[in-house]
Chain A
């Protein structure tokens, strides 16, 4: 047991946690924005794949790192627009469309990757983002190195949390987004275009998801693999519920999950002799489910989530 606590004191554990948490923050915030506007976006898994591939490919083809991030965001926005076209403008099933977007976007990513690099056997690497140390803070013991000597994308993720919170809860635009997820008729009755608000939220949210995907190839593995998103999108969907659609709680939830994930890898090494490693693999998921049961019981979910809005229809 004490060995387990020792893990918590290593800089490596914290560095891994931060690395794991960054894409989750982007993805969760993106999903949160979509759902606050009343649109479930199950395209997240595919949109993260698109982000991972397109950001990496941009750099591999000679583009700049930040250009790659922007390109990934733009590609994510494009698929968000596709999702919104079906679910918002046409009012089709959000579940079915989302799954469809995930299948389409993932497959298209792999296809384009193979088209452009037909001969690559070992995935080629790019020069990733350098860590940027924050003077002073990065010298703190244990967590200093982990928290304050990180990829700029990680800082961007951490910064995005208060920004998203502020926009959602302190600006007229955020109010319109939240209202669109609660009662679209009320938005319409106040003279605001519900479809535009929802479409905008899905596009912006999807762009954030794609940046989360780009983090994985541009700041972590430095290469693009098949199946590398590996369910992170679905974790984000669960984290949004865990967070009761609150950006702050989403950050906390992402950290808990990432911490457990980093811990289980290390615990495998520790106890690998007598406990099967599969047990550790499932540990973060089991803990997530338990946390969901505790946290999500009294959740006030957006009342109009999954409910399409059609103008001028008699109800």
Chain B
């Protein structure tokens, strides 16, 4: 008998069907990978299992017994534990407090901290999950916080562990550590559901793969029988075309930075940066986060106006600190964090789409009154052109998946055919289909004659997409050499500050 069984589970948000009659089983001791693009309904399905959402139709069975819907408590009691993608921890409280919450009767007059400590120490030994129970969660690294989340589930005797995109925030080394932990857990009889859209991880860690597309299961297969291209195609629904850089002759200089420096901010302050990007050229900036990439992006997007040195766009001085003027001068901005800086989640899609040129004649009358009809019509065209999957211009933006939200940002930034594009981590957190889409759009812009600055922590991405690559470390930028002039290992060393004294932030 399977330890977990989904039977015809359907969930709708408005007119969007997030899960469409999903049936799925999980056996004891196995790692089941739940694979799918962003917005395919993986997290929704698991949130139904864990009682965050209630299914509209269908039943979930744990050990053959139906699980009461919509109750987190019932799910925990049945032995389900969930490690959420966005950790459910309180930073101002200690590890112990985060773990023991809800494990004792709320009406007890004291906390049994001693037995809790002993149990934690046992678990740390058994599973190799060591964390200081008295540490404040806010002081822990991301990897350690994830360990606390896993401990939280194990502490409550979870037998089915759900991990929602667990490696999204981990370094490659931390991911390896996580995989080892998962092996020791399944060896002890736990069943694991591993949600991801990274194919190589899934092939490395899972026993069986279930692929979700647009809310429905399109197939399950044993990992040993699976090959990469096949599951990528199952996931996306068509063959994925990987971006290919065709050599082009660069044109006139679009962006010229000379001696750019900023003050404050420690390791991230810019120190005397020089960089020129020409038309038909993608220049990549490699580096560990927190070495000045964000400050550089802020300067170029107009969010930071106080700096020394000169920044020129098509020969004219940059409108420092004036985002609207910068956008008007032909800059397309793809910000690092789509939720915090790219989009206003509580606003509608069309509102977000006009937010950068709200005063243009195209969407307003005399730059004063929004012309709702024309703005909506333009939004409809952009949604169609950039293949944004949403209910329409009036959809609430936060209901969109990450990939679709990013397409929306592309639509906003690229529709005006900017001559310089600032792309800061444009594919972070996206699935294979969306990544290929974003990258191909950037290549199209290059083809058209735009100059593109691509900031990324992913060296493979930079190698595949850039004409030249510069490395940023401690606020300094190396010379941008043609891709291939340096090996990945050399770039890695430069990212670490070359002299080796630099620790990853």
Contact = CB atoms under 8 A, between A and B. Distances in A.
Interface of A: 170-173, 175-176, 178-179, 182-183, 185-192, 300, 302-303, 311-312, 314-315
Contacts of B82: 189
Nearest to A197: B106
B70 interface: yes
8 contacts: A172-B103, A172-B106, A175-B101, A175-B111, A183-B89, A183-B90, A189-B82, A190-B103
Contacts of B106: 172-173, 176, 192
Residue among A170, A172, A188, A300 facing the most chain B CB atoms (10 A cut-off): A172
Nearest to B50: A189
Contact of A186 (B54, B70, B101): B101
A314 B50 contact: no
Interface string B63-79: 00000001111011100
Interface stretch (B91-99, B240-248, B251-259, B433-441): B91-99
A303 B72 contact: no
Nearest to A173: B106
B60 to A, nearest CB: 16
A300 B92 contact: yes
B102 A314 contact: no
Contact of A188 (B72, B107, B398): B72
A186 B90 contact: yes
Contact of A179 (B90, B104, B105, B399): B90
A183 B84 CA distance: 13
A172 B105 contact: yes
B76 A186 contact: no
Contacts of A175: 93, 97, 100-101, 111
A177 B4 CA distance: 33
Given A178-B90, A185-B86, A191-B76, 12 more contacts: A170-B111, A171-B110, A172-B104, A182-B90, A189-B52, A190-B156, A192-B102, A303-B92, A312-B54, A314-B13, A314-B398, A314-B399
B88 interface: yes
B53 A312 contact: yes
Nearest to B54: A312
Contacts of A171: 108-111
B88 A185 contact: yes
Interface in B295-312: none
B447 to A, nearest CB: 37
B156 to A, nearest CB: 8
Residue among B53, B106, B108, B110 facing the most chain A CB atoms (10 A cut-off): B106
Contacts of A192: 73, 101-102, 106
Interface of B: 13, 50, 52-54, 70-73, 75-77, 82, 84, 86, 88-93, 97-98, 100-111, 152, 156, 398-399
Interchain residue pairs A-B with the least CB separation, the first 9: A190-B102, A182-B90, A191-B73, A186-B88, A172-B104, A189-B88, A183-B90, A173-B106, A191-B76
Residue among A179, A191, A192, A312 facing the most chain B CB atoms (10 A cut-off): A191
A175 B104 CA distance: 10
Given A314-B13, A315-B398, A176 B102 contact: yes
A183 B101 CA distance: 12
Contacts of B75: 191
Contacts of B72: 188-191
A312 B70 contact: yes
B76 A190 contact: yes
A186 B110 contact: no
Nearest to B81: A189
Contact of B102 (A182, A191, A302): A191
A173 B101 CA distance: 9
A187 B93 CA distance: 13
Given A182-B91, A189-B72, A172 B399 contact: no
A177 to B, nearest CB: 9
A182 B398 contact: no
A172 B76 contact: no
A173 B109 CA distance: 9
A178 B104 CA distance: 15
A141 B102 CA distance: 50
A59 to B, nearest CB: 33
Contacts of A185: 84, 86, 88
A306 to B, nearest CB: 15
B497 to A, nearest CB: 31
A176 B52 CA distance: 18
Nearest to A178: B93
A176 B108 CA distance: 12
Nearest to A177: B106
A182 B93 contact: yes
A170 B90 contact: no
B80 to A, nearest CB: 10
Nearest to B84: A189
A128 B40 CA distance: 68
B52 A188 contact: yes
Nearest to B399: A314
Residue among B89, B90, B110 facing the most chain A CB atoms (10 A cut-off): B90
Contacts of B84: 185, 189
B183 to A, nearest CB: 25
A303 B100 CA distance: 19
Nearest to B76: A191
A200 B110 CA distance: 19
Given A178-B93, A187-B102, A315-B398, A172 B108 contact: yes
Contacts of B100: 172, 175
B101 A179 contact: yes
A302 B92 CA distance: 8
Residue among A175, A182, A189 facing the most chain B CB atoms (10 A cut-off): A189
A172 B92 CA distance: 16
A185 B59 CA distance: 24
A107 B76 CA distance: 47
Nearest to B112: A172
Nearest to B345: A315
Contacts of A178: 90, 93, 97
